[in-house]
Amino acid sequence: MKRLLVLGAGTAGTMIANKLRPRLDEREWKITLVDQNETHYYQPGLLFLPFGTYKREDLEKPKRRFIPAGVDLHMGEIDLVEPDKNQVKLVDGTELPYDYLIIATGTHPTPDETPGLDGDEWYKSIFDFYTIEGAEALAEKLETWEGGKLVVQIIEMPIKCPVAPLEFIFLADAFFAERGMRDSVQLEYVTPLPGAFTKPVAAKYLGDMLDDRKITLESDYFLERVEGDEHKLVSYDEREIDYDILVTIPVNMGSKYIERSGLGDELRHVPVDKRNFLSTKHDNIFALGDAAALPTSKAGSVAHFAVDIFTDNFLDYIQGKPMREEFDGHANCFIESGNGKGMLIDFNYDTEPLPGKYPLPGVGPFSLLQETEANHWGKLMFKWAYWNVLLEGRAMPIPALMSMAGKIREEV
């Protein structure tokens, strides 16, 4: 009996189990998923929670509901991967041997990496919205807040869903306007990037959108510490920014067992071949989803496209054949821009987000890098698709590799 062990039953791990179970003979292959908590959160929904659009119960479902028959879900905290023994040790002492290992334990906001961030003011005047606890605490704060200066600030790239902080500040603008208090709120967007976004064309569009909304942008800002008592950010080059509410995106890091096992980079993400996700160190270990150190977005869409490519490759690989499919870094993200509108971006390792129509060239229904109502509805409907189509590994009507069809090249 061969053993495939998948660490993490989140977006990537669950899709892998669903895609591979029907294609690996149950008499020959045992598939085990390991996770330490029973609840699957719809992470794209966390963005809306601070504004009261969703509540916790709208975003959570039991992980087990999405695990197919014939796959064992083992609950436990991972202590160590021991590649020389081909086994994973759990904190409770359980040893799980494997023939092939897939690391899909994601990446996590890690506030204790930044001096002063998770001190006394954590969840009083400083919040994150990438965790259910942070998003809920922020919702409670915003409910009664009477105005002042709200700063959205990214500490270090890469972060998961890198457009979410922009979406947050667009939604905040619309939220305060709707409450009739936009004039008593100052909004500032603080980023270590040279502009609103990394790539030039998207940075120009998104930068204009910040301008239109009277949101100030502070770029190339690398935070050294937070002085929580003083409500102040201090950068490495001594620029100080004060705030009344700080919405921070803490440093994103992989799980600690990855570091203990010597499998990660400085951020505990696993270096892999960016074309096929095979570990650069071990030929029977793969990393997929946010856990992998790939030069593309950390996002569910990337995990989805990556798993599509991975599945066919893995079936060849275990038979000793070469992996023929090559991942291109395809990412596809809706950007909620407030007032019932949204944008869409579609890009890969080599092609930056460009304007145009998607997925049908010239037709859409979605518009790239343009604010439309259709994009907003696409984003809302995606929640249904996530739970009912995507996680269970059924086909989505979007190709895994990026296409240039429908995109318009543009000079900045």
Site residues (vs another protein, CB under 8 A): 156-158, 162, 193-194, 197-199, 220, 222, 224, 236-237, 265-267, 295-297, 331, 347
Please identify, using beta-carbon distances, which residue of 156 and 325 lies nearer to another protein.
Answer: 156
Distance CA 128, CA 136 (A): 10
Q: Which residues pair with 30 in a beta bridge?
A: 3
Please identify, using beta-carbon distances, which residue of 224 and 227 lies nearer to another protein.
Answer: 224
Q: Shortest distance, CB of residue 292 to another protein, whole angstroms?
A: 13
Residue 199 corresponds to which tokens in the numbers above? 């790539």
Q: Shortest distance, CB of residue 157 to another protein, whole angstroms?
A: 4
| Burial class, 249, CB count within 10 angstroms (exposed 0-12 / middle 13-18 / buried 19+) | buried
Contact 315/21 with Cβ under 8 angstroms?
no
Phi and psi at residue 241, in whole multiples of 5°? -130, 125
Distance CA 368, CA 364 (A): 9
| Beta carbons within 10 angstroms of residue 48's beta carbon | 23
Please identify, using beta-carbon distances, which residue of 41 and 347 lies nearer to another protein.
Answer: 347
Please identify, using beta-carbon distances, which residue of 98 and 305 lies nearer to another protein.
Answer: 305
Please identify, using beta-carbon distances, which residue of 32 and 297 lies nearer to another protein.
Answer: 297
Phi-psi map region of 167: left, alpha, beta (phi>0 left; psi -120 to 50 alpha): alpha
Q: Which of 117, 28, 29, 31 is nearest to 73 (CA)?
A: 31
List the Cα angle 334/339/343 in 5-degree steps: 20
Please identify, using beta-carbon distances, which residue of 220 and 283 lies nearer to another protein.
Answer: 220
Q: Shortest distance, CB of residue 120 to another protein, whole angstroms?
A: 25
Residue 310 corresponds to which tokens in the numbers above? 């991975």
Please identify, using beta-carbon distances, which residue of 191 and 375 lies nearer to another protein.
Answer: 191
| Burial class, 274, CB count within 10 angstroms (exposed 0-12 / middle 13-18 / buried 19+) | middle
Q: Shortest distance, CB of residue 158 to another protein, whole angstroms?
A: 4
Neighbour-count burial for 77-101, b at 16+ CB within 10 Å, e otherwise: ebbbbebeebbbbbeeeeebebebb
Helix ranges (DSSP H) in 221-292: 256-260
Sign of the CA dihedral running 20, 22, 25, 26: positive
Please identify, using beta-carbon distances, which residue of 261 and 296 lies nearer to another protein.
Answer: 296
Please identify, using beta-carbon distances, which residue of 158 and 338 lies nearer to another protein.
Answer: 158
Q: Shortest distance, CB of residue 169 to another protein, whole angstroms?
A: 18
Q: Shortest distance, CB of residue 402 to another protein, whole angstroms?
A: 13
Residue type for position 32: T
**What share of residues in the chain are helix, strand, coil (percent, to 5)?**
30, 30, 40
Q: Three-class SS of residue 337?
A: strand
Distance CA 291, CA 219 (A): 27
Q: Shortest distance, CB of residue 103 to another protein, whole angstroms?
A: 19
Q: Shortest distance, CB of residue 9 to another protein, whole angstroms?
A: 26
Q: Shortest distance, CB of residue 286 to another protein, whole angstroms?
A: 19
User: How many residues belong to the chain?
Assistant: 412
Please identify, using beta-carbon distances, which residue of 150 and 161 lies nearer to another protein.
Answer: 161
Strand order in the sheet with 148-154: 126-127, 245-249, 148-154, 185-190, 216-218
Q: Shortest distance, CB of residue 386 to another protein, whole angstroms?
A: 21
